Amino acid sequence: MNDTAWDRGFPVKYLLVDEDDDGEPELWGRCAGVEGLFADPVPPPREVLTLRGCAPEGPLRAAIDRPGEATGLLGDLCVEIRDDPRPTRRWELADVVVITHHPCQADPALVDVVVGAGVRQDGFSRERLPTSPRFELSVATAGDLETVGHCLRVDGLFAPRAAPETIPLELVGCEPTERLRAVLRRPRKWEGGWAGLWALDRDGRVMAHHTVGLGIGGARPSTLGGTLIDITLTDGGKDRPPLLARPIWDVWYRGIPATPNQWAPYSAEGRRQWSHLAIHRDMGARRPDRSGGVYHLDGRFATDVPGLHCAMGEALLGPGGYYGWGWSAFTDCLCGGFGVVAPFTLIWHDAAVARRAPAEGLPSYFGEVVGHLEEHGVTVVLR
């Protein structure tokens, strides 16, 4: 889409884009800036729930078995009701704390687990329950989900809850196309609709995508003057980049990183945000996968799972390279379509950093990554 420039004294930094009747991207507006894009998620209210008839495994079993007065911290727990092969209902229990547990009256071999958590329900979960529902439990580890057991039911899960409040977003200095002007003329017609917000770097390359609602809270002449307008969207969308991502976006705005390890000073979450921007590095300019050759991975800063994948991406594709950000994404990359495919040789320098890292789960994850590379035909040399 060659619509990233205009004749003004400041650059276009965002595009508002929707699909045309053929499913192709169609420009709705150019914007000089956006306010409210970066926002830390608001945690849902805390509730007390009981996992009835639970058969715990892994981290859930460990949280139950903590001795004495230690608190059983579990992190975020995914609860799914499955009608194989897909879930029919799904909830996220945020920041789960195990309060207590006791044998299940219906089956002493099972456990009733009382937890405190915030509850979020995915919007797609509207299907009828199976006749005999089974509640599958999993936690996020290394960018993927790890099964931690199942239970017969979850008391309190179906309680009515108010929808989370939407957070508005401001399009600043917007030059609308006729399609967007039609939305502004008849805003009610478009309520509930969605569009894409594409963030650009200073060279006009798309560096990130975000989805926003088309509910219009207001439109007025822009503070930047001329014929531009400022538009308030009543729903700036979910999964916004957190506040800590702002300086990372500033780095990428200046262009694709040219020196390695620029991600290294950031926290694990910052490194994950770095990977999210790296995904778009070669969008629209994909070349055929290459195989063969020798690549060198700098393992000095692979102190957590996102850091391991940042280092992997740079080893194979250069600074700012992307080769997964968690297990599932890493597996996708190994299957092709991301620039490098086996067979090749990977020399992993300072491998002991990941192998002995104090980060929870990283040493075993490192071993699984090495094994997965070798299974796909990669020769891995650890140094």
For the stretch 45-90, pLDDT in tens is: 999 999 999 999 988 988 888 755 566 788 899 998 876 656 678 8
Tell me which residue of 294, 295, 247, 287 sits closest to 271, measured CA to CA. 247
Please report the pLDDT score of residue 146 as a whole number.
Answer: 83
Whether the Cβ atoms of residue 8 and residue 30 lie closer than 8 Å to each other = no
Name the band, by pLDDT with cuts 50, 70 and 90, for residue 23.
Answer: confident
**Token code pair at residue 287:** 């070349």
Please report the pLDDT score of residue 154 as a whole number.
Answer: 93
* Residue 48 neighbours by CB under 8 Å, 6+ apart: 99, 114, 115, 116, 156
What's the pTM value of the predicted model, to 2 decimals?
A: 0.86
Q: Is the pLDDT of residue 125 over 90?
A: no
Please report the pLDDT score of residue 103 as a whole number.
Answer: 94
* Residue 122 neighbours by CB under 8 Å, 6+ apart: 90, 91, 92
Q: Is the pLDDT of residue 283 over 70?
A: no
pLDDT in tens, 229-251: 999 999 999 889 999 999 999 99
Please report the pLDDT score of residue 333 as a whole number.
Answer: 94
What amino acid is encoded at 292 in this protein?
A: G
* Residue 39 neighbours by CB under 8 Å, 6+ apart: 167, 236, 240, 242, 243
Which phi and psi (to 5°) does residue 3 adopt? -135, 35
**Of 19-23, 101-105, 217-221, 344-348, which gets the smallest average pLDDT?**
19-23
Q: Is the pLDDT of residue 361 over 90?
A: no
pLDDT in tens, 188-223: 878 888 999 999 999 999 999 999 999 999 999 999
How far is the C-alpha of 25 from the C-alpha of 200, rounded, in Å? 15
Tell me which residue of 185, 239, 183 sits closest to 214, measured CA to CA. 183
Please report the pLDDT score of residue 71 as a whole number.
Answer: 65
* Residue 315: C-alpha distances to residues 257, 340, 343 (Å): 14, 11, 15
pLDDT in tens, 313-343: 999 999 999 999 888 899 999 999 999 999 9
Which residue bears the tokens 């509910």? Answer: 215
Q: Is the pLDDT of residue 132 over 80?
A: no
Q: Is the pLDDT of residue 285 over 80?
A: no
Please report the pLDDT score of residue 358 as a whole number.
Answer: 76
Residues 284-310, mean pLDDT to the nearest whole number: 89
Instruction: Report which of residues 142 and 211 the model is more confident about.
Output: 211
Residues 17-44, mean pLDDT to the nearest whole number: 91
Please report the pLDDT score of residue 376 as a whole number.
Answer: 96
How far is the C-alpha of 181 from the C-alpha of 187, rounded, in Å? 10
Q: Is the pLDDT of residue 181 over 70?
A: yes
Which phi and psi (to 5°) does residue 212 adopt? -125, 155
Please report the pLDDT score of residue 207 as a whole number.
Answer: 94
Please report the pLDDT score of residue 21 as a whole number.
Answer: 80
Residues 363-381, mean pLDDT to the nearest whole number: 94
Strand 111-121, strand 25-35: pairing: unpaired
Q: Give residue 110's Cα distance to chain centre.
A: 34
Q: Is the pLDDT of residue 168 over 60?
A: yes
* Residue 310 neighbours by CB under 8 Å, 6+ apart: 263, 264, 271, 274, 275, 278, 301
Strand 294-298, strand 344-349: pairing: parallel
Please report the pLDDT score of residue 187 as a whole number.
Answer: 85
What amino acid is encoded at 10 in this protein?
A: F
Which residue bears the tokens 């727990």? Answer: 77
Residues 373-383, mean pLDDT to the nearest whole number: 96
The percentage of the chain sitting over the pLDDT mark of 70, rounded to a whole number, equals 91
